[in-house]
Structure 1
Amino acid sequence: MRNPLSVVLLNWRDMNHPEAGGSEKYLSEVATGLAARGHRVTIRTAAYPGALHRETVDGVRYVRRGGRYGVYLRSLAALGLGRHRADVVVDVQNGVPFLSPLVRGGNPVVNLVHHVHREQWGVVFGPAVARAGWFLESRIAPRVYGRSRYVAVSESTRDELGGIGVDVDRITVIHNGTDAVADEHVSRADHPVVIVLGRLVPQKRVEIAMQAVRDLAVDHPDLELWVVGSGYWDTELHRVADELGIRDRTTFTGHVSEAEKHRLLAEAWVLALPSLKEGWGLVVVEAGVHGTPTLAFADVGGLNDSVRDGETGVLVHGGQAEFTAALGALLDDDAGRTALSERVVEWVTRFRWSETVTRWESLLHAAAERREDQPRPGDNRVGGHREADH
């Protein structure tokens, strides 16, 4: 049996952060899963109002220092000063990299990437910052992590990383899992309900779903839209709802509990996911547990991996008009929607957090043992490595 590892994970937010999303859910599941298996796990993340600077939850030690950007410098300083004795450090690169290899002296670092942010820089920032951010992500990070292992959450993300110069032989794909949820007492709504779930930020493009609901309301007078989640774009979306005249059929729930989230997903007819970019789309499999199919755009990275077009959901080629037409077709086709529902339930059974944690555990042991040696050709899967000596 392998010895327990000491693992430090660096991310700009934790699961309880007001702006937490799928990336934080993924990290939380991996961290708690590793801790439950006896590993010493620390998450360094940003501080935020109401959060303790240090605490231990579900066996995971949390250290919160720095703000949205200060967390990067504070984390690097802590590693450089030797405040964490880690067998492996995991950087979570959400656009901006932590660049831990600069202070790790060749000791193991794994870089976790959910998706490449090429399109998103210009949506969130002005031109100058967008260019600098993209340069950091696409030119600097691949060099700094040149001897590190990468983890991508989808095959599409792996391919995108390869496109910016990352050696694909160093990339392991480890998918999201999903929760096992009992919803036998939750019934599908008796009228059409479209749900949008996620952080309320511009790149999620919730406005596309709102426009579609407005256009379809003529033929579906009882159509509702549930916007579930929180974020700084909330006020703008309320304004759009008023402007479109759909405020009376749109419910903004704000942040909800996990139980409430799953209840809403189980009741909805369709999950609308018009996002500009997703590395995988955790909400796709969360909805799929309840037999709720997803409608999304075909040119959005990891959604091509999590949604099987025509089998577990629908991927749209085009823009607003095509999205609206596809949503209308789903709402009108009870038999087709039922078939999608049955197939998506079967599809998501292959994604379990326990398997995600097992693959991470194997990869981290391999990284600790090999000390970032050069990978063997084609070695982009975990397994088959020698046992640790320590």
Structure 2
Amino acid sequence: MAAAESRHVLFLNWRDTRNPDGGGSEVFVERVAAELVTRGYRVTLFCAAYPGAPREQILTSGVRVLRRGGWRTVYLWALWAYLTGGLRPDLIVDVCNGVPFLSPLYASCPTVVVVHHVHREQWPVVLPGWRGRVGWWLESRVAPRVYRRCRYVTVSEATRSELVRLGVDPERITIVRNGVNPVHGEVVARTPYPSLVVLGRLVPHKRVEHALRALVALPDARLVVAGRGWWEPELRRLAAELGVADRTEFTGYVSEQCKHRLLAAAWVALVPSLKEGWGLTILEAGARGTPTIAFREAGGVRDAIVDGRTGLLADDPRDFVGLTRWLLTDDRTRRQLGAGARAYAQGFTWAESGRRFARVLDEVAARPRQRVP
């Protein structure tokens, strides 16, 4: 503990959880940062600003948040803050959400890189054309070279394998899985009708369209889409076009209490995303005894779901619809998977995530610093 108390850890992340576009990656960063504070570290999170947000804030966890620039310029602001003396940490945690901060190029302290997932499939969807190609070049060619002497942390075996394919030494990669909050609050009964829930940001690569199309084949079911994002008008348009608008509820942003009620009341949770580093909502649903269906090809969901025991993995859109119909009509299988999901989720805690992350930082801090030439 004494060594930790002397260390200032700086997290560089493009967003924080209060950002309207924040998601599971930001939850992981802030929960791990909070656990580090309990272990004696001094922690600062540097991230992008957004309308109405204070430039500086101390969270209840003790984490200090600095907000500068926007999602495009936060990387340059981090460089400026470091070079002008505003930030002088003992360790940097460089969170790479596709676009890297490249902190080893200018920082004199050690860097630990966090990669939730590799964005190869997402670049053409999020930034079509040349911009997506530049993004993939930065992530797949530039970042592995700049971080070649750094320790990596990721959240799943799937992402670890992808990083190895990009040339990262597997000996430098440590898996620190997500935790899940203990379930508190009222006991919530399942809905009396077949119900589905999708929880997450409403952006194209989350592919909520698959859930809407599944609803067409399930005339007795209803769907709740919980979350916010700039893609919501397109999803509402598609729901009307498919004739399922009257059975689809878009809730917008939901509080933790509302999220608890939605996940506990649903019969099945759907994660139709193109790619996930882990899929935190899968564990959150599992903690309420709600099984999840996701796509096998979506990376880290293969770690978050034990196929056939805690949920189901679909091979293609047709299979996704078929598995959803099966779980909504087979009460026995759905209850078995729900019980398995609850038991599985109980094995993941943020305290353990923080302990494993702190061990990586301690190992890195103990090593002599090697500059990137």
- What TM-score does the superposition give when structure 2 sets the normalisation length? 0.96
Matched, 1:185 2:182: no
Residues 1-390 of structure 1: pairs in structure 2 closer than 5 A: 1-3=1-3, 4=5, 5-58=7-60, 59-105=62-108, 107-183=109-185, 185-217=187-219, 220=220, 223-318=221-316, 320-372=317-369
| Matched positions, count | 368
C-alpha separation in 2, matches of 1:372 and 1:302 = 32
C-alpha separation in 2, matches of 1:284 and 1:215 = 23
How far apart are 1:371 and its partner, in Å?
A: 3.6
Larger deviation: 23-32 or 78-87? Answer: 78-87
CA contact (8 A) 1:225 1:249 kept: yes
C-alpha separation in 2, matches of 1:207 and 1:328 = 16
The superposition leaves residues 154-202 of structure 1 with CA deviations (integer Å, 9 ceiling, x where unpaired) of: 1110110000111111110000000001356211111111000000000
The CA RMSD over aligned residues, in Å, is: 1.2
CA contact (8 A) 2:314 2:320 kept: yes
The superposition leaves residues 273-303 of structure 1 with CA deviations (integer Å, 9 ceiling, x where unpaired) of: 1110000000010000001001011111101
Secondary structure in 2 aligned to 1:225? strand
The superposition leaves residues 48-68 of structure 1 with CA deviations (integer Å, 9 ceiling, x where unpaired) of: 000000111121111100111
How far apart are 1:84 and its partner, in Å?
A: 1.6
The runs of 4+ residues in structure 1 deviating greater than 3 Å are 371-374
How far apart are 1:347 and its partner, in Å?
A: 0.8
Q: Which amino acid aligns with 2:190?
A: R
CA contact (8 A) 1:9 1:91 kept: yes
CA contact (8 A) 2:185 2:257 kept: no
Residues 275 and 360 of structure 1: is their aligned pair in 2 closer, same or farther, counting only changes over 3 Å? same
C-alpha separation in 2, matches of 1:146 and 1:95 = 17
Q: Which amino acid aligns with 2:248?
A: T
C-alpha separation in 1, matches of 2:367 and 2:290 = 43
- What TM-score does the superposition give when structure 1 sets the normalisation length? 0.92
How far apart are 1:365 and its partner, in Å?
A: 1.5
Secondary structure in 1 aligned to 2:210? helix
Q: Which amino acid aligns with 2:76?
A: L
CA contact (8 A) 1:193 1:268 kept: yes
How far apart are 1:342 and its partner, in Å?
A: 0.9
C-alpha separation in 2, matches of 1:41 and 1:55 = 12
CA contact (8 A) 1:97 1:137 kept: yes
The superposition leaves residues 82-116 of structure 1 with CA deviations (integer Å, 9 ceiling, x where unpaired) of: 322211100110000000000013x2100100000
C-alpha separation in 2, matches of 1:226 and 1:7 = 39
Larger deviation: 202-211 or 37-46? Answer: 37-46
C-alpha separation in 1, matches of 2:296 and 2:128 = 27
Structure 2 unaligned segments of length 5 or more: list them: none
Q: Which amino acid aligns with 2:254?
A: V
